[in-house]
Amino acid sequence: GAGVSQSPRYKVAKRGQDVALRCDPISGHVSLFWYQQALGQGPEFLTYFQNEAQLDKSGLPSDRFFAERPEGSVSTLKIQRTQQEDSAVYLCASSFDRSYNEQFFGPGTRLTVL
């Protein structure tokens, strides 16, 4: 009965470093979403997976951002050559199926780029 988990919970990176953020969705959930939440703002959509297929990546802010979900379960969000403006909380959410069901959110990874 575990919920969505994310690791690491906190990440400090030097500008220019690559980072990888992991999301373990609820078992059996088809849909997986990544969001970026800046301080004092609502979550901003980054990308959406339906099983292993990335169906929407329209929210990825640049080609430095890359996400994958190769086996339709665990997902990784990778940010290359991090910049200070990448500092934010990165949220992962999963949903039971591909329709309009509610999303279950993980605790987030707080990324700080120095």
Partner 1 sequence: AQSVAQPEDQVNVAEGNPLTVKCTYSVSGNPYLFWYVQYPNRGLQFLLKYITGDNLVKGSYGFEAEFNKSQTSFHLKKPSALVSDSALYFCAVRDEAGGFKTIFGAGTRLFVKA
Instruction: Point out which residues bind partner 1 (CB under 8 A).
Output: 3-4, 31, 33, 35, 40-45, 48, 50, 55-56, 58-59, 91, 93, 98, 100, 102-108
Which residue has 């996400």 as its token pair? Answer: 67
The distance of closest approach from Cβ of residue 98 to partner 1 in the complex, given in angstroms and rounded to an integer, is 8
- For partner 1, the closer of residues 14 and 27 by Cβ is 27
- For partner 1, the closer of residues 3 and 61 by Cβ is 3
Terminal Cα distance for the chain, rounded? 37
- For partner 1, the closer of residues 10 and 16 by Cβ is 10
- For partner 1, the closer of residues 41 and 62 by Cβ is 41
- Helix H, strand E, coil C: the string for the chain is CCCCEEECCEEEECCCCCEEEEEECCCCCCEEEEEEECCCCCCEEEEEEECCEEEECCCCCCCCEEEECCCCCCEEEEECCCCHHHCEEEEEEEECCCCCCCCEECCCEEEEEC
The distance of closest approach from Cβ of residue 15 to partner 1 in the complex, given in angstroms and rounded to an integer, is 27
The distance of closest approach from Cβ of residue 27 to partner 1 in the complex, given in angstroms and rounded to an integer, is 17
